[in-house]
Amino acid sequence: MTGRNYFPLVTVIPVPAAAGGIIKLTPQYEVPLASLSEAFLIVPAVGAAGFQTVTFAGTYAVGDEIRLTITSNLTSRQLWRKSYNYVVPAGFSLTSIAAAFTAMVQADVNNPLNSPYASVTSALGVMIITQFDDDKQGLVSYTFTDSASGTIGAVSTLTVISEGQPSDLTDRGVDTDDITLAAYDTVRMVLKADAPIPFIDSDGKTVKEIYWYGTPGDGVGLVAQIP
């Protein structure tokens, strides 16, 4: 269903049983039950943005090269990619190396129109880079060093995808005045609506996706009714 045109529906009233072949998805919107399919329930989930934990360890030497590359799909359809390079100077420590990388990443945090980052912090040789939203998995890291005994490693903590939160409804085009609950069940379904399409190779239907938002616990009853 991904990629189809869609529209949202919001209600705090449970969907009644279909009658006469018609199902009323909200008090104001009803469709033939047979026109709906592929419904599945997504229960509410509080999101948490994913992050990369980058650890500098071991024993570096002056002149060692360290590189961290981040890719992301958060800012556009094209893959965002940025490499941060550092040559170890005299008087360094693992903490100062992490701080130097943090300063480079912070420059991109300060440019939110193009950057996939929300924040970056470092302490004792460990840097944490957090992505800016909780709608999808958004950061991938690649590391390199030519050091004989210094190391750099990156570990991903995956995003907990936000589901049914007010921000998710807003993202789907729901008016804020219609959002009255702290969280919603989400039911995604396909609508094949009759349409006067005058082509011999058409069956006279348009296909759209519905995002139905309702009171938590009500979505399961809706899904049970959809063929």
What is the rounded average pLDDT for all residues in the chain?
93
Q: State how beta strands 117-123 and 185-194 pair.
A: unpaired
Report DSSP state, residue 102.
Answer: H
How many beta carbons lie within 10 A of that of residue 155, not counting itself? 10
DSSP conformation letters of 155-178: EEE--B--BSSHHHHHHTT--GGG
Q: pLDDT at position 2, please?
A: 46
Q: Phi/psi class of residue 45: alpha, beta or left (left: φ > 0; alpha: ψ in -120 to 50)?
A: beta
Contacts of 37 (CB under 8 A, 6+ apart): 189, 190, 192, 226, 227
The pTM assigned to this predicted structure is 0.78
Identify the H or E element spanning 142: strand 140-145
- Residue type at 17? A
pLDDT in tens, 35-48: 999 999 999 999 99
Q: pLDDT at position 200, please?
A: 52
Burial class (CB in 10 A: 0-12, 13-18, 19+), 208: middle
